[in-house]
Amino acid sequence: MSKIIFMRIAWMKFYKGNTKQDKPIGAGAYVQENEDGGEVCNFLDINGLCYGYARMPPGRNIDIKREGASPFDTSVNDVDVIFIATNPKDGGQYIVGFYNNAIVYKKPQTIKNKKRGNHNNYVCLCPSKSAFLVSEKDRVYDITGAGQANIWHASEYLTNTELRRLTTYLLKVKGSLQTARKSSGSFNSNIKANAEAEMKAMEYVKQYFESNEFKVIDIHKDNLGWDFTAIKNTVEYQLEVKGLSGNFTSIDLTPNEFDKMENKKSTYLVCIVSNLGTGEAPKLDLISYYGSTLKSDSGIEMKITKIIGARISRK
């Protein structure tokens, strides 16, 4: 049987450090109070390795004997470590990424070079090429496990059928991401570019509205369906920001964002900042309803294509 350990962590987009645009959400009181946690660097490449963390109660160790270690071992090899997190938008618990053939330690270890920022403890590691992060839009594998335990063993709670289904999923994700890495030339560079484009877009939109004498309130972590609220006198806009490295041809809205746009209508602005990776000056398009028609601020009419999904579960 495969060695599989689940680790429950906070929800993030990239897990490459705690940034203004990518802060951990959920996973306990510490993360909620501090907007920080040891898992924020779980997919950060540090000299070819990724160091994983999940919070454990003080004084507790990981029972690596369940994965074949002897009572005298301090670690166990060749474990698939699956990171799960609660999606703040729908409350479901999904696989956000995994380490293939990782080393899992009985007790937390410490990186002494502080390349993990303020979070130098880790409980597992693997080569960065064996660390697979699932993008937010592709996090669809729903997991139910051992109550509130942050670390638990698949062999304890999953049936053989569930284990086969899980293994098939992991192989599929691994294959598709490896293909993407090869075709793109650099998987990590693409992730970094996307993150940088989003951060630049957020700052660009904030400065644009502030220069027009709006008070801009950052609420992107509140899961309201937009990133900023912009207020000037009696005028209030809801701003949803999208950053693009190249030209604007299309963007995606989450179900929550689309619902808010349809309800707020003319006060909901989709702020699209494009050309962020071309070396040219950024271009801002403000998309909103004008009457019953969705248009840009330059008068270009927009087309809406609804994408519908579903979840099937046992009764």
Give the domain CATH number at 290: 3.40.1350
The b-or-e profile of 169-181 (16+ CB within 10 A means b, else e) is ebeebeeebeeeb
Q: Is residue 306 part of a domain?
A: no
Q: Is residue 287 part of a domain?
A: yes
Q: Tell me the one-letter amino acid at 304.
A: I
- Give how many domains the chain has, as a whole number: 2
The Cα 79–Cα 166 span in angstroms is 14
Residue found by looking up tokens 């248009």 in the block:
295
Q: Pick the last residue of a domain from 140, 155, 184.
A: 184
Q: Tell me the one-letter amino acid at 276.
A: L
- Position 112 scores a pLDDT of 76
Count the Cβ atoms, other than its own, within 10 Å of residue 301.
9
Greater confidence, 308 or 213? Answer: 213
**204 and 267 co-located in one domain:** yes
Please, which pLDDT band fits residue 123 given cuts at 50, 70 and 90?
Answer: very high
Q: Is residue 37 part of a domain?
A: yes
Q: Is residue 312 part of a domain?
A: no
**124 and 37 co-located in one domain:** yes
Which whole number is the average pLDDT over 114-122?
A: 78
Is a pLDDT exceeding 90 seen at residue 315? Answer: no
Q: Is residue 146 part of a domain?
A: yes
Q: Is residue 302 part of a domain?
A: no
Q: Is residue 313 part of a domain?
A: no
Q: Mean pLDDT highest for which of 26-30, 92-96, 111-115, 194-198?
A: 92-96
Q: Which residues contact 81 (CB under 8 A, 6 or more apart)?
A: 5, 7, 52, 98, 99, 102, 104, 124, 126
Please, which pLDDT band fits residue 187 given cuts at 50, 70 and 90?
Answer: very low
**80 and 206 co-located in one domain:** no
> 150 is in which domain, residue-wise?
4-184
**13 and 145 co-located in one domain:** yes
- Position 246 scores a pLDDT of 85
Q: What is the DSSP letter of 246?
A: S
Q: Pick the last residue of a domain from 128, 158, 184.
A: 184
Which whole number is the average pLDDT over 76-105?
A: 92
**22 and 112 co-located in one domain:** yes
Q: Pick the last residue of a domain from 128, 160, 184.
A: 184
**264 and 290 co-located in one domain:** yes
- Position 186 scores a pLDDT of 46
Instruction: Indicate the average pLDDT of the chain.
Output: 85
**148 and 125 co-located in one domain:** yes
**169 and 251 co-located in one domain:** no
**240 and 255 co-located in one domain:** yes
**175 and 211 co-located in one domain:** no
**204 and 97 co-located in one domain:** no
Greater confidence, 133 or 26? Answer: 133
- Position 183 scores a pLDDT of 56
The Cα 60–Cα 52 span in angstroms is 17
Lowest-pLDDT range, 200-204, 212-216, 274-278, 305-309? 305-309
pLDDT in tens, 256-277: 899 999 999 999 999 999 988 7
Is a pLDDT exceeding 50 seen at residue 243? Answer: yes
Please, which pLDDT band fits residue 279 given cuts at 50, 70 and 90?
Answer: confident
What's the pTM? Answer: 0.58
Cβ pair 237, 230 in contact under 8 A:
yes
Greater confidence, 282 or 310? Answer: 282
**148 and 246 co-located in one domain:** no
The percentage of residues in the chain with a pLDDT greater than 90, rounded to a whole number, is 41
Q: Is residue 145 part of a domain?
A: yes
Give me the sign of the Cα torsion angle 226, 188, 7, 166: positive
